[in-house]
Structure 1
Amino acid sequence: MESFTEPMRFVNSWRILNLVFLIFLWAKGEYATSVFILILLLLFLMSIRWRFKLPVWSVMLDAAVCILYLPYTSIAYFGLSLPLFELALRGKWPFALPFFIILFVTPASPAWLFWYFVLALFMGLFSYASLQNLQKYKQEADEQRKARYELERIKTDLLAANQSVSQQAELMERFRMARQLHDHLGHDLTGAALALQAYEYVQEPEEAQKLLQEVKRRLELSTKSLRETVHNATPSALIGVENLEYVARNFYQVEVRFEKSGDLLLVPAYHWGLLEACLKEALTNVARHSDATGVEVKVQVAGSIVRLLVQDNGTLQKKEQTGSGLRSLQMRARSLGGSLSISANNGFLLVCVLPLLEKG
Structure 2
Amino acid sequence: MNIALKVLVLVYLLAMGVTQASLLTPMALAALLLMLGLHTCRQRLYDHTYLLAVEFVVITVAIAYGAPLSLWYAVLAFDLAFKKLFVGLIPILGAIYVYSLYPKNPLLLLLTALAVLLALALNEIETQNLKHQHTLDKERRLRYSLEETKQKLLKSQEEVEHITEVQERNRIAHEIHDSVGHNIAGILMQMQVAHKCLDQDKDKTRVALTKSISKLTETLEILRDTVHNLRPIEKAGIDYIRAIIDDYEYCPVEFLPSGDLSNIPPRLLQAVASIVKEALTNTSRYSKATNVRIELDVNDKFLRLYILDNGVGCSHVRAGLGLSGMRERVTNLGGTITVSGDEGFLIVCVLYR
Measured against the shorter chain, the TM-score band is: 0.5 to 0.7
Choose which of 206, 213, 238 in structure 2 pairs with 1:216: 213
Q: Are residues 1:12 and 2:3 paired?
A: yes
The alpha-carbon deviation at position 192 of structure 1 amounts to: 1.4
What residue number does 1:136 align with? Answer: 131
Choose which of 97, 104, 109 in structure 2 pairs with 1:104: 97
In structure 1, stretches of 5+ residues that fail to align are: 1-9, 248-266, 274-360
What residue number does 2:12 align with? Answer: 21
Query: TM-score of the superposition, structure 2-length normalised?
Result: 0.61
Choose which of 138, 160, 166 in structure 2 pairs with 1:171: 166
AA matched with 1:130: I
Choose which of 77, 81, 91 in structure 1 pairs with 2:74: 81
Measured against aligned partners, the alpha-carbon deviations of 1:239-274 in whole angstroms (never above 9, x if no partner) come to: 962537999xxxxxxxxxxxxxxxxxxx9947999x
What is the distance in 1 between the residues matched to 2:172 and 2:6? 82
Q: Is the 8 A contact 1:11 1:127 kept in 2?
A: no
What is the distance in 2 between the residues matched to 1:21 and 1:241? 81
What is the distance in 2 between the residues matched to 1:200 and 1:11? 111
What residue number does 1:153 align with? Answer: 148
What residue number does 1:60 align with? Answer: 53
Choose which of 28, 32, 37 in structure 1 pairs with 2:25: 32
Q: Is the 8 A contact 2:74 2:108 kept in 1?
A: no
* Structure 2 counterpart SS, 1:77: coil
What residue number does 1:117 align with? Answer: 112
What is the distance in 2 between the residues matched to 1:106 and 1:160? 77
What residue number does 1:187 align with? Answer: 182
Q: Is the 8 A contact 2:13 2:68 kept in 1?
A: yes
Q: Is the 8 A contact 1:100 1:117 kept in 2?
A: no
What is the distance in 2 between the residues matched to 1:167 and 1:190? 33
What is the distance in 1 between the residues matched to 2:97 and 2:120? 23
The 1:87/1:244 distance shift into structure 2, 3 A limit, reads: farther
What residue number does 1:353 align with? Answer: none
The alpha-carbon deviation at position 231 of structure 1 amounts to: 6.5
The alpha-carbon deviation at position 189 of structure 1 amounts to: 1.8
What is the distance in 2 between the residues matched to 1:107 and 1:196? 129
Q: Is the 8 A contact 2:80 2:88 kept in 1?
A: yes
Q: CA RMSD in A?
A: 3.1
How many residues align? The count is: 243
Q: Is the 8 A contact 1:62 1:82 kept in 2?
A: no
What residue number does 2:86 align with? Answer: 93
Q: Is the 8 A contact 1:240 1:269 kept in 2?
A: no
The alpha-carbon deviation at position 64 of structure 1 amounts to: 0.8
Measured against aligned partners, the alpha-carbon deviations of 1:181-200 in whole angstroms (never above 9, x if no partner) come to: 11001211222133223322
The 1:272/1:64 distance shift into structure 2, 3 A limit, reads: farther
Q: Is the 8 A contact 1:81 1:117 kept in 2?
A: yes
What residue number does 1:330 align with? Answer: none
Identity rate of aligned residues, in percent? Answer: 21
What residue number does 1:45 align with? Answer: 38
The alpha-carbon deviation at position 78 of structure 1 amounts to: 0.9
Q: Is the 8 A contact 1:81 1:116 kept in 2?
A: yes
AA matched with 1:225: I
Q: Is the 8 A contact 1:19 1:43 kept in 2?
A: no
In structure 2, stretches of 5+ residues that fail to align are: 243-262, 270-353
Q: Is the 8 A contact 2:161 2:267 kept in 1?
A: no
The 1:84/1:233 distance shift into structure 2, 3 A limit, reads: same
The alpha-carbon deviation at position 228 of structure 1 amounts to: 4.5
What residue number does 1:343 align with? Answer: none
The 1:54/1:240 distance shift into structure 2, 3 A limit, reads: farther
What residue number does 1:328 align with? Answer: none
The 1:111/1:170 distance shift into structure 2, 3 A limit, reads: same
AA matched with 1:25: M
* Structure 2 counterpart SS, 1:241: coil
The 1:48/1:210 distance shift into structure 2, 3 A limit, reads: same
What residue number does 1:346 align with? Answer: none
The 1:193/1:145 distance shift into structure 2, 3 A limit, reads: same
The alpha-carbon deviation at position 116 of structure 1 amounts to: 1.2
Q: Is the 8 A contact 1:240 1:272 kept in 2?
A: no
What residue number does 2:285 align with? Answer: none
Q: Is the 8 A contact 1:85 1:123 kept in 2?
A: yes
Q: Is the 8 A contact 1:89 1:124 kept in 2?
A: yes
Query: TM-score of the superposition, structure 1-length normalised?
Result: 0.60
What is the distance in 2 between the residues matched to 1:50 and 1:240? 71
The alpha-carbon deviation at position 115 of structure 1 amounts to: 1.1
The 1:75/1:119 distance shift into structure 2, 3 A limit, reads: farther
The alpha-carbon deviation at position 38 of structure 1 amounts to: 1.4
